[in-house]
Amino acid sequence: MSLLSKVFGDHPKGLYVLFATEFWERFSYYGMRAIFILYMTTMLFNGNKEIASEIYGSYTGLVYLTPLIGGYVADRYWGNRKSIFIGGLLMALGQFLMFFSASFATTNNGLAITFMWSGLAFLIFGNGFFKPNISTMVGQLYVATDARKDSAYTIFYMGINAGAFLSPLICGYLGENIDFKWGFLAAGIGMLLSLVIFYFQKDKHVVGPTGVQLGVNPNKQNDSESKDTGSGFTGTQLGVLFGGIALMFSIFYFGLHLDIWGSLIYGMTVVAPMTVITDSSLSKVEKDRLWVIIIIMMFVIFFWMCFEQAGASLTFFANEQTNRNIMGWEMPASWFQSFNAGFIILLAPFFSNMWTKLGNSGKDIAIPYKQAIGLGLLALGFLFISFGTNNIPAAGASIIWLGGLYLLHTIGELFLSPIGLSMVNKLTPGRFTSLMMGVFFLAIATGNKLAGYMSSLYPDPANQATPPSIFGITIDNLNTYFLVFVGFAGLASVILLLVSPMLKKMMHGLN
């Protein structure tokens, strides 16, 4: 902790406990994700990229859907600590079920698929209780006006990505070179380590500015600024929420004929923010600030739809079209997923110190502008790799193309993702903090689900009778495929940039 303090400056010790807890949890998540789509295509579904991509998108989407439930339960009943611990136990069990799935993959395909679905279910619900609550506790370490918050979330984000950097190297190597089951087992062990660190360190270090232990009580008891100490949704609001979700689900599933998981994710993403914003206890200023979060959520969807190709179509590109030979040794395709995290580890200290200095000097960039810059850099990353697909040599494309894409995407992510977490903590009334963190994750859920759909459009002549298309654009080559992402991310960046002055005004002095 002392070394991290020297690098990043003065921060509460609790930040580094949450850093270490999240490090091993993300080791678990990204270790499994690094080999998941390769496991499905090679062991379960006979090379079918479309099926594997749809399952990948549903899983990563639902992982970010359940934080709405976990945030609500923490705010109203359990508190952050209990929610984090129960969520971690569920995720560890999920990883061990994935281990059993891979253990039967060559002898009993049906049983292996059953274990896979069971493991995914535990991972999805466990993440719902874990993720929004640990993210919320980072902000609670500081007073509301502390200029170190953006810096703190950047440090916390470095913990996420340190785990994400290490996990593909270990789980990816074990999975691709020895047996997929050992990769999943390593991910499960990582989750257990996360729980041990949190359990034994939380009482001593995870405390607020006044020394009170954080996350013990439901967040509804911690909002001194509001005249209403009620938390989350009332009974009436819950009825409206579930009724609205049922209506939107019907529209997506029966009307637009989308799959069941996509219909659920999209339905909740539309209805949940509207249910929060109509809470009668909110003042005008609180509503304006929540509207900023909701509007930015719409743009965040496009970011994650494009960015999350890392675990899907970009893994296909790494595995099939990239020259991974380094001095006679072939690098595992899953190791490319460490590039993004490695770049974040290198760049996070710079960004953390930059946000602190800008905040202290009064020259900080408003959150909406940071989000727009992040989207613009995402578009540039896909534009860069599109150049590398024009003439791919027989040996495969150079590592430079994927490396350059991940560098640009990493810089864009540091402008957008940790700042988004900080934004939710800054702009949300305390009684809604974990719940609103869960609502914000719905945008990531939708983005991840759409990422699976976009990955299913990856041009693959071996498994596609006719080339896929989107909005009238026929995707019959990799150059066109990657340029589609340039269009989505670039347009979203420009529109967000145009509305940023209005959003800044609606933040009422918070930056």
- Give per-residue pLDDT as tens, 314-348: 989 998 899 999 888 888 888 998 898 889 888 87
Mean pLDDT rounded to a whole number for the chain: 86
Q: How far apart are CA 286 and CA 278, in angstroms?
A: 11
Q: What is the mean pLDDT of residues 23-32?
A: 92
Q: How far apart are CA 208 and CA 221, in angstroms?
A: 14
Those residues whose C-beta lies under 8 Å from the C-beta of residue 174, and which sit 6 or more positions away, are 182, 183, 186
**pLDDT greater at residue 359 or residue 394:** 394
**pLDDT greater at residue 410 or residue 417:** 410
3-state secondary structure at position 247: helix
Where residue 78 falls among pLDDT bands split at 50, 70, 90?
A: confident
CB under 8 A, 24+ apart: contacts of 98-104:
98/32, 98/123, 98/184, 98/187, 98/188, 99/181, 99/184, 99/185, 99/188, 100/181, 101/181, 101/184, 102/39, 102/43, 102/179, 102/180, 102/181, 102/183, 102/184, 103/181
What 8-state DSSP symbol labels residue 435?
H
Which helix (H) or strand (E) is 325 found in, with range?
strand 325-326
Cα 47 versus chain centre, distance = 26
- Give per-residue pLDDT as tens, 449-501: 999 899 989 987 666 668 888 888 888 889 999 999 999 999 999 999 999 99
Where residue 302 falls among pLDDT bands split at 50, 70, 90?
A: very high
pLDDT of residue 1: 47
Q: Which of 37-41, 56-60, 199-203, 222-226 has the lowest mean pLDDT?
A: 222-226
pTM (two decimals):
0.81
**pLDDT greater at residue 139 or residue 291:** 291
